[in-house]
Amino acid sequence: MSDEGSALESVTLPVGGMTCASCVAHVEGALKENPGVSDATVSLMTRSATVKFARAVTTPEALVEAVRKSGYTADLPRRDLLAAQRADDAAHAREARSLVVRALLLLGGMVLTMFASMPLMTAHAGHAQADPLMAAFARALDPPTRAALPWLYRLDTQLLGVALLVASVALVAVGARTVFLRAWSAARHKGTDMNTLVALGALAGLGMSAFSVLFPHVLVDNGAAPDVYFEGVLGILGFVLLGQGLEARARKQTTSALAALASLEATRARIETEEGERDLPIDDLRREDLLVIRPGERVPADSTVEEGSSSVDEAMLTGESAPVKKERGARLVGGTVNGSGVLKARVSALGDDSVVAKMVRLMRDAQARRAPIQHLADRVSAMFVPSVMVLSALTLAAWLVFGVGGAPGAVQAVHAAVAVLVVACPCAMGLAVPTAVMVATGVAARRGVVLRGGDALQRGAGIDTIVFDKTGTLTVGHPVLVDVVEAVDSAVEDSAVEDIGATDAALALAAAVEKSSEHPLARALVDAAASRALKLPRAKEVRALPGAGVEGMVEKRPVQVLSIRAATQIAPLPERLREAAARHESTGATCVVLIDKGAPSALFALADALRDSAAPTVAALRAAGVESVMLTGDRRAVAEHIAKRAGIATVHAETLPADKVEVVRALKAQGKKVAMVGDGVNDAAALAAADLGVALASGTDVAREASDVTLMRPDLAAIPSVLGLSRAALSTMKRNLLWAAGYNVLAIPVAMGVLVPLVGVPMSPVIASLAMAFSSVSVVLSSLWLARFR
């Protein structure tokens, strides 16, 4: 363990050679024993180890060496995260193919040896007449030859047995060598894992068969049949590898969201230089290069638009199917797809600093983080293999002592002991929770939600109260036009604007003089005009009036957009405008007045508007039994106005950041499970204090770091889906654990022979291996069902 005063760093190492939960426990133990390590979390699904350590005490190189000394492979993290993810995906695909091919080789060998070993079943009778075909052949021979035939037959069958033994050992060496190598590696490091159980079972079968082939008379003289089990050994190993192959293929599907993200990176880019446009590999791209992105092309890198206008498909990032309009100053994310326009954009981030790389890192970290429910499975898995070995030894002893139905006990004893070793499945326990976490985080990612791992999923399943920040969360976070009120008998001359309604004509005039301004209120007026597709007249001699507004000339007539106070200094406001201003300002809106040719013409009310998704989200949460609370530092009148429109009954207004934390803690003290939704620096403490923190990606980095869930698009409708997904994921975890535990609790006693007095037949080791493979695959398939979540 590191000293408390030491600064801790975190590193994620790729780890190879792990096959079950026992392997995970061994690697974690090896890392935690290393001086300077504060914590280590190993993931069987991502084949990685995340380690917190003090660099003053140890180094990543030392951690890699610690893993290698424990009998597994490890490497330093690769620099290019996206390339590393693609390499991992390719390696997993190769692993799955290799396992299936080797399994089919062994199972094919099982079928051949099953037929080839049939003559051996008659050899123990001691004469050729045990085989009807050989008996008929013998009757046709003269007496001396007939007398020598049993010895010749026995010699032939023994040679056949030796040939089958050599062939079986060769098949095992080619197809299942990794099982024995990993078992030996675990033994050298004083450990055990699933490979230990399978290797012991296979070696027992091979040993019995070899003894039967080489010393058949010893068994016959002691009343036992010299049976061989070559097909059983090959079947055990074949079905185990087939199960691992199918599991690897299914596990690859659980990481499909990661693979999809990593595949988004473009391979080439087009840049503009002094000599003209140039096409180059993506690895040669540099920050500040000017990209040229043509219609339909994938954006090569994170960048900022400097020229052009287009719509960009960002579905891969946000889950939003509608293209997003991009103009000068807009941010582009590498991997998104350009629409119909040509864009020129300046590169702002590359490699591991890109948005996609950060999402991949977040998802990899999330999928490695354990749900609390997994800790019980980890404790059971740590003692599982040694316990099974003890049970197998007890089974062997019991069968040797008691036998069954008077039959010789040695053969049946080994059968039962091998079946116990093979049927036990620590993999199912180890995969029960991580597979569900991986699928759930992948489903969330495809819908524009980044979950921080299994712990966030488990906590999300119990949420019954959600606290919403107001500004930037329930509301859009910037002013928008909410109302246009015309002065009594006002009219805008058609010489300045096209023939449209008076309200739109007033907005067009105001937007014309505000067009060049970057003030938030000015942008709100211009955006409102653009959303109505209004054609703006040309404004000249535009100048800002500090503290008052802006003025200019439109078609040789003076036009001003002023604050209420500045407007009243020019001319009294008509009663209709005064009443509208009082009404809107009471709800927190800001009002500006259009002065046309020296007279108040219209009033514009601008406010931080409620998000379109806010009210439906609150209603959906209420239907699901989740209470909504609003928390804001804004004035109570404004807060209650927004809360009423959103459908929220409980409001905490005029709160400081410290007060927000206290509100969250007070709700938790009442026994409630609280989620906090926010987007700003002043929300970070409350996000951290809540049982579940939810941040909008449009918010600050501080808010996102403090959160457990990040919404990649500002759509609150994703929140009920996240809670529903969390509940479905937790149910899947519990179902998987119940199945994994129930399978072992039932299968191991059956393999030991508790049903033999009833059915008269013990479990075959081959059937045991098939059952073990099925148990692991079924857990993964159960988790994949989560992908259908709606």
DSSP one-letter code for 52? E
Tokens of 370: 């354990």
The number of C-alpha atoms within 13 Å of 199 and in the hemisphere containing its C-beta is 19
Phi-psi region of 366 (alpha: psi -120 to 50; beta: other; left: phi over 0): alpha
- Residue 232 belongs to what H/E stretch? helix 230-254
What's the per-residue H, E or C state across 78-94?
Answer: CCCHHHHHHHHHHHHHH
- Residue 160 belongs to what H/E stretch? helix 143-175
Q: Residues with Cβ < 8 Å from 748, sequence gap 6 or more?
A: 388, 391, 420, 423, 424
Distance from the Cα of residue 561 to its chain's centroid: 51
Taking residue 324's Cβ as centre, other Cβ atoms within 10 Å add up to: 18
Is 527 strand, coil or helix?
Answer: helix
The number of C-alpha atoms within 13 Å of 655 and in the hemisphere containing its C-beta is 22
Is 549 strand, coil or helix?
Answer: strand
Q: Which of 454, 561, 483, 490 is nearest to 41 (CA)?
A: 454
Taking residue 392's Cβ as centre, other Cβ atoms within 10 Å add up to: 25
Is 550 strand, coil or helix?
Answer: strand
Q: Which of 245, 243, 240, 246 is nearest to 198 (CA)?
A: 240
Tokens of 439: 């699928």
Please pick, among 131, 469, 596, 708, the residue that the annotation labels catalytic. 469
Paired residues of 52 in beta bridges: 10, 39
| 469 noted as active-site residue | yes
Query: Judging by DSSP bridges, how do beta strands 627-631 and 650-652 pair with one another?
Result: parallel
Taking residue 655's Cβ as centre, other Cβ atoms within 10 Å add up to: 19
The number of C-alpha atoms within 13 Å of 423 and in the hemisphere containing its C-beta is 29
- Secondary structure of the chain: what % helix, strand, coil (to 5)? 55, 20, 25
How many residues are present in the chain? 790
Q: Residue 305 and residue 271: Cα distance in Å, rounded? A: 13
Q: How big is the CA angle at 92 (ends 86 and 97), to the nearest 5 degrees?
A: 130
Active-site positions? Answer: 469
